[in-house]
């Protein structure tokens, strides 16, 4: 396994791999690797002859007052974990290499990027779409692997790849969870012991909502209300949003009329720590 810091060097490595007939599978991360990331890397070994993992805490997707400065960083540990999971290359550029002085080009996905996370975190998906577009141009993958935990991000990036004719196959890997259902996230380390004990209520509320829909409930606001009640009665979490929306456009639903793809999602704050999760289903 090798570590590459320079974007042109990574591009040359990718060109050489492609010329030799190798398929490149790519897992973009911000580091602080956990079992969810490692699952993506292990899955990637089945899609590519060469697996590239990026480790880059992207400043353009963080808003004012968010946790960019305190986001956990440990490149040596992350590189060792990535190698053990099957990564052949770790691409770890600096912010200056990705956004040199005078940088002025950004990618904006209209519509869906302004909903839910986009509404709560203005500019977030502009940063996400920009960095993933740049990474695809640098790493030149055949296959891009993303986790379903960031459900809206998957939808936004699928649209970006399609609209910009970026020739990359997108593979979405199911969310990896702790034994009590909490979605694995690099931000879980911020939780106090009491908050960690309460946090599984998020997944419990998603499962409850899914069950209600599968059992025939067709009033989406009834489901959203039940989720809010479960979260507020079972934790000290402060709800940012709960959503029952179309799985393709993220348009909030009122009356649910199958057949339909639905994404149930939420964002909840435990103190300064903001956690997200979702479940997708087809009715």
Give the integer Cα–Cα distance in Å for 199 and 39: 22
Listed in order, the ranges of the chain carrying CATH 3.40.50.620 are 2-173
- pLDDT single digits (tens) 106-139: 999 999 999 999 999 999 999 999 999 999 999 9
- pLDDT single digits (tens) 132-191: 999 999 999 999 999 999 999 999 999 999 999 999 999 999 999 999 999 999 999 999
> How much is the pLDDT for 10?
98
- pLDDT single digits (tens) 50-71: 999 999 999 999 998 899 999 9
Which of 205, 260, 261 lies closest to 231, judged by CA?
A: 205
Give the integer Cα–Cα distance in Å for 197 and 36: 20
Contact 5, 94 (CB under 8 A): yes
Give the integer Cα–Cα distance in Å for 33 and 173: 16
Kindly name the residue from 37, 124, 142, 236 that is annotated as catalytic: 37
Among the CATH numbers 3.30.300.30, 1.10.3720.10, 3.30.1300.10, 3.40.50.300, which is that of 186-282?
A: 3.30.1300.10
> How much is the pLDDT for 256?
92
| Chain mean pLDDT for the chain | 97
Contact 224, 244 (CB under 8 A): yes
> How much is the pLDDT for 149?
96
Give the integer Cα–Cα distance in Å for 238 and 153: 22
Contact 116, 249 (CB under 8 A): no
Q: Which two tokens stand for residue 145?
A: 């692997």
Bond before 259 cis per omega within 30 degrees: yes
CATH architecture type of domain 2-173: 3-Layer(aba) Sandwich (3.40)
- Regarding pTM above 0.85, the answer is yes
Listed in order, the ranges of the chain carrying CATH 3.30.1300.10 are 186-282
Which of 203, 117, 105, 99 lies closest to 155, judged by CA?
A: 117
The total number of residues shown for the chain amounts to 283
Q: Is 236 designated active site?
A: no
């Amino acid at each position: 396994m090798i570590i590459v810091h320079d974007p042109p060097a990574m591009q040359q490595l990718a060109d050489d791999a492609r010329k030799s007939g190798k398929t490149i599978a790519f897992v973009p991360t911000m580091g602080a690797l956990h079992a969810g990331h490692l699952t993506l890397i292990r899955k990637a070994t089945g899609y590519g002859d060469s697996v590239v993992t990026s480790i880059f805490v992207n400043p353009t997707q963080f808003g004012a007052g968010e946790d960019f400065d305190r986001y956990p960083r440990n490149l040596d540990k992350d590189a060792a974990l990535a190698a053990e999971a099957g990564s052949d290359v770790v691409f770890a550029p600096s912010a200056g290499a990705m956004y040199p002085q005078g940088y002025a080009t950004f990618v904006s996905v209209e519509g869906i990027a302004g909903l839910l996370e986009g509404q709560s975190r203005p500019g977030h998906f502009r940063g996400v779409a920009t960095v993933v577009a740049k990474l695809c141009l640098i790493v030149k993958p055949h296959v891009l692997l993303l986790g379903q935990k960031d459900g809206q991000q998957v939808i936004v990036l699928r649209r970006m790849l399609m609209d910009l004719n970026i020739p990359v196959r997108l593979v979405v890997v199911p969310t990896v969870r702790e034994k009590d259902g909490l979605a694995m996230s690099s931000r879980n380390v911020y939780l106090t012991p009491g908050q960690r004990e309460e946090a599984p209520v998020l997944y419990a509320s998603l499962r409850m909502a899914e069950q209600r829909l599968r059992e025939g409930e067709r009033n989406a606001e009834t489901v959203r209300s039940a989720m809010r009640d479960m979260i507020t009665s079972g934790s000290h979490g402060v709800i940012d949003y709960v959503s029952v929306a179309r799985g393709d456009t993220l348009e909030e639903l009122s009356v649910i009329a199958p057949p339909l793809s639905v994404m149930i999602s939420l964002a909840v704050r435990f103190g300064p720590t903001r956690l997200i999760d979702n479940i997708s289903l087809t009715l």
